[in-house]
Amino acid sequence: MRAAARAQPNIALIKYWGKRDTEQNLPAVGSISITLADLYTTMRVEFDGALRADMLVVNDAENAAMLPRVSRCLDAVVGVDRSRAAITSTGNFPIAAGLASSASAFAALVVAADAAARKDHSREQLASLAGMASGSAARSIYGGFAELANADDAITLSTLCPAGEWPLSVVVAITATGPKPVGSTEAMETSRETSPFYARWVEQQQADLDEARDAIQSRDFARLGNVAEHNCLKMHSVMWASRPPMVYWNATTLECMDAVRQMQADGVPVFFTIDAGPQLKAVCEPAAVDTVRERLAATPGVEAVMVTGLGGGARLIDDD
Ligand code: DP6
């Protein structure tokens, strides 16, 4: 009754921001992401009839704060009458800093729990279960360029292009570490309830999805970058105009944005995206990765840079 799985975070190029059903955690909009290769979370799940309560250890420390969300996710995958579980999570990148650690964590968790309890859910079902725990986690079940489409009462996922078929690179500029001021779940609800731009954001999403899908299918880097930056800045405008306002950027985030703009002016194939945190993610063609890494690392205030390619979806690993 035990299994281990590994999943990588994904970065949305066309963002998920807002829910239409908070009970089921269904998104208000579809999204398109790239799954990363070299950052990961490993989840080990062991169901044990002798345990009286679930136990969660994250990076060697017991974590009571995340436990209720993890327990609910296990209930959804296995059933509420399941045995209690010991869950161990380890990752190789900072948690809660806008790097989608919840996406890789919950994608790995559902895959490990499904195998440990021999439930044999399909990949689509695993994606729905991961999405109930954290919307963006559904996309980390899939690799490469993944689209989450928003149907009437469910989500559906598809791979638009496998990782190896359009091998882009991602340079993450870390501008601050530590937890973010407001979590995405709460911030999305504040946006829905108070931002004067929220309705327009939802209304325009289909056009951005269509344009990005086309750009991916025709491997048109400039067009993809253009719509991804537009979609990112539009999402942040929704946040900035919320009450209270939610500003996830710091001065260094803006410096990094400026560095990307300068590289674009110099003809470097690169674009940026930013999630609910202060890190800037620069997506570039592999030939440009050294330039992008050096220019972002040299930007005042940048604490560290991480470089990765695109990778596959969540998978089981040997548990010994
Ligand atoms: C800005 O998936 O963390 O990264 O469903 O409430 O857990 P919950 O939200 P979450 O939100 C991700 C928001 C985003 C954009 C994106 O990844 O699409």
Radius of gyration of the chain (CA): 19
Q: Which DSSP state fits 277?
A: S
Whole-model pTM: value is: 0.96
Percent of the chain with pLDDT over 70: 98
Measured between alpha carbons, how far is 216 from 275 in angstroms, rounded to an integer? 20
- Which residue's CA is the closest to the ligand 1 atom numbered 14? 275
Residue 98 confidence (pLDDT) = 57
Whole-number Å distance, alpha carbon 49 to ligand 1 midpoint, is: 34
Q: Supply the mean pLDDT for the chain.
A: 95
Whole-number Å distance, alpha carbon 46 to ligand 1 midpoint, is: 27
Measured between alpha carbons, how far is 102 from 180 in angstroms, rounded to an integer? 13
pLDDT digit string, tens, across residues 47-90:
999 999 999 999 999 999 999 999 999 999 999 999 999 999 99
Percent of the chain with pLDDT over 90: 92
In this structure, what token pair is assigned to residue 167? 């091998």
* The pLDDT of residue 292 is above 80: yes
Segment 6-18 shows an average pLDDT of 97
Spell out which residues line ligand 1, taking CB within 6 angstroms.
12, 15-17, 25, 31, 100, 102, 134-136, 184-185, 275-276
* The pLDDT of residue 101 is above 80: no
Give 95's pLDDT tier (boundaries 50, 70, 90): low
pLDDT digit string, tens, across residues 216-266:
999 999 999 999 999 999 999 999 999 999 999 999 999 999 999 999 999
* The pLDDT of residue 97 is above 70: no
Q: How buried is 312 (Cβ within 10 angstroms: 0-12 exposed, 13-18 middle, 19+ buried)?
A: middle
Atom of ligand 1 nearest to the CA of 102: 3
